[in-house]
Amino acid sequence: MEELLNTNNLPAPPVPGIFVNRELSWLEFNRRVLSESLNPKIPLMERLKFLSIYFSNLDEFFMVRVGSLHDQSIIEPNKLDDKTGLNAAGQIDAILKKVAEINPIAERAWESIKQQLRAQDIDLMDTQHLNKLDEQIVQKYFAENIRPLLSPQIVDRQHPFPFLKNKEQFILTVLEDKEKDKSKDKSETKGDSLKLGIVSFSHLPPYFIFTLNQRRRVLFTADIILFCAQKLYGKQKVVEKHVMRVTRNADISVDEGLYDFDIDFRGVMEEMLKKRRRLDVVRLQFSSIPGERVVNFLCKKFKVTPACFLVQSIPLDFSFGFALPSALDPHKEEKSWFYHEAKPFVPVDFAKGDAGGAFNYLQNHDLLLSFPFHSTKPFVDLLYEAADDPSVVSIKISLYRLANHSKIASALAHAAEKGKEVLCVLELRARFDEQNNIDYATMLEEAGCTVIYGLSDYKIHAKLCLITRKVHNQIQYITQVGTGNYNEKTSELYTDLSFISTDPKMGEDATRVFQALCVGEVVESTERLWVAPNCFESNVLRYIQEQVDLARSGGEGYVFIKVNSLNDMEIMEKLIEASQAGVKVEMVIRGICCLCPGIPGYTDNIRIKSIVGRYLEHSRIFIFGTGEQQRIFMGSGDLLNRNTRRRVEVFAEVRDGDPRREILHLVDAIRMDNQNSWEMLSDGSYVKDNSDHAEPLDSHTYLHHYFEKPFELPPAKLSLKERLFGRFHKN
């Protein structure tokens, strides 16, 4: 059983070099998320939410990435990671070691949060420290509110082991088996046969809150049932008990469904979702160390090794962290517990007739919306104006993730009902949003929209909308390109950009994109837009090469890249070449980064930082060059192999006007952020930027002020610091 807690038998992580393993890089990102739960500058309940996000991220990581490696270890056991030379099994071992290294930080964060709540007369309790009165209250609550709703199952020679759903918690008990004890069968120690009790309680509230002696007590349902487990089995003695949680592989290929079913694509997706629910187990979490018999039994049952067992003393499921703050303070009266309210600003209200309506405004100005600082309302208003305007012929849009009760979907449905041609390219393979997209496909079709499901070989991840008008027998376009989904909920949580322009060349390119998608193809070339898979990576390489050539000829080469992830080998090799040529490369990469900066002779001129703060950094921005020759692009794709080669992504160039100035100002704020920034070191690790020598700047807070009250930028002759802070302090 020692191997459940001892990771010394696992190989050490790869020796740091120029490249970092993708999975280990992601775990380092999740460590940065976790660190926010220990940050004393962050309000208490927001720290709890960061802890919940850490565990939610980890769940998905095991379901998708570890699940994928699990499959690879069976199908292609000798396939090696092209950056570190590890096979799938070696990567899984390194992952488990890294998780074991990071999880104690989570335990410290949980204890810190509990301690601070105790100081405010709130006790997050465990059943080991109940006094007599607490115990009476818990026993009564269990008898009246929990016990009648439970259906314990016995597992023995006559009763089969039940199916355990993904991410659900169970109370697992070992029951005394008197007949077997008499036989003293040797198979017992092997776990071939056990008498078990299993109780599911996912349908119950996650916690119980009561007040005693002017202190609020919070007890988790899992702990209450575990405490009272003996009462579930009458005279049958419980000899061992645990809270257990199962994580299953969720990495299932749609291609499998396409080969197995002679049905339409929507039907294939529905069948795939059914299959996903029953995929292999990749992780077993326990609240305490299970006995050898239990380990052997479950290893045999789930076809796993003891390395898949993870024991943690804190709750196994932290999803309660999103709801508990509201349960403890429903009106957010304790202001120190939460971030200050920051409502999205409506820069121009087209519905109220500002600027003479959306069409009139856009004829004279490009528009940049910066989320979450701006509201999505101007874009929704644009769609409704298009629905009602007789000059509009069609609305075409690519949809990846939609919010529940989506205003954008409603606007599209309204346009179809008004007789407009509405084409929705809806990607059904948006992971974990598949069912939501299937439901929206039905709704949009019923409203009269034409819905297509994308391409068999490529996911459509682009954020592209095209409104086509016919004015005085001339075709006019309004094109919108975004970095984030058409989702009102995430637009208030993620930093994203939405660029809207009447540039005819952009419209012509967008038309070609939708025409290609309608016939099951991807565009081969474009004039104004970058469109993956054929002209995204190639353009990035071309523009970096231009800066390399400039630097080699004695000029000032500069590249700025802001993405969520980087592992594309061709682009990383080109960035190394750029650094060697003397090009200054600055990158802001939130999550996975497989390239190490600051390695002598290779990446000396590359600086990489990650921003983890109140909002999830999600925008993708590329800047090449300086001064008048500077080129700015924004769009939907990261620099992962999947984005550059296996997805349809769209980028637009922002050429002039207010949108260009606003992006440059946003980038300046990001570059100067010293409150949410982590600097990547040459060994692949990260250190928090806590610059004492510089004036504190939290880019998320600063940009809320900036976009809420638009203003004329100070003269360029002022320093960057003066331009940023001069106005910041004025307000």
Under DSSP, is residue 220 helix (H, G, I), strand (E, B) or coil?
Answer: strand
Least confident of 40-44, 279-283, 307-311, 575-579: 279-283
pLDDT number for residue 640: 95
pLDDT in tens, 342-363: 899 999 999 998 889 999 999 9
The string over 354-372, giving b where at least 16 C-beta atoms fall within 10 Å of a residue's C-beta and e elsewhere, is bbebbbebbeebbbbbbbb
pLDDT number for residue 264: 53
pLDDT number for residue 514: 97
| pLDDT band for position 716 (cuts 50, 70, 90) | very low
* Catalytic member of 461, 618, 665, 700: 461
The answer to whether residue 151 scores a pLDDT higher than 80 is yes
The answer to whether residue 253 scores a pLDDT higher than 70 is no
The residue-averaged pLDDT of 565-579 equals: 96
pLDDT number for residue 274: 54
The residue-averaged pLDDT of 4-14 equals: 37
pLDDT number for residue 120: 93
pLDDT number for residue 8: 39
pLDDT in tens, 619-669: 999 999 999 889 999 999 999 999 999 999 999 999 988 999 999 999 999
**Predicted model pTM:** 0.89
pLDDT in tens, 187-243: 445 555 789 999 999 999 999 999 988 999 999 999 999 999 999 998 899 999 999
pLDDT number for residue 73: 86
Percent of the chain with pLDDT over 70: 88
The answer to whether residue 182 scores a pLDDT higher than 60 is no
Q: What is the mean pLDDT of the chain?
A: 88
What CA–CA distance (Å, rounded) separates 457 from 521? Answer: 10
Q: Is 432 left (phi over 0), alpha (psi -120 to 50) or beta?
A: left
The residue-averaged pLDDT of 15-44 equals: 91
- Which amino acid would we find at residue 194? L
- What are the backbone dihedrals phi and psi of residue 495, each rounded to the nearest 5 degrees, phi first? -85, 120
The answer to whether residue 4 scores a pLDDT higher than 50 is no
The answer to whether residue 494 scores a pLDDT higher than 90 is yes
Contact yes or no for 445/580 (Cβ under 8 A): no
Q: Which residue has the higher pLDDT, 184 or 119?
A: 119
Instruction: Determine whether 461 is an active site residue.
Output: yes
What CA–CA distance (Å, rounded) separates 554 from 566? Answer: 29
pLDDT in tens, 508-548: 999 999 999 999 999 999 999 999 999 999 999 999 999 99
Q: Which residue has the higher pLDDT, 257 or 233?
A: 233
pLDDT number for residue 20: 93
Give the burial class of 645: count Cβ atoms within 10 A of its Cβ; 0-12 exposed, 13-18 middle, 19 or more buried.
Answer: middle
Long-range CB contacts for residues 82-90, cutoff 8 Å, separation at least 24:
82/569, 83/19, 83/20, 83/21, 83/22, 83/567, 83/569, 83/594, 84/14, 84/19, 84/20, 84/21, 85/14, 86/14, 86/21, 90/11
What CA–CA distance (Å, rounded) separates 299 from 708? Answer: 57
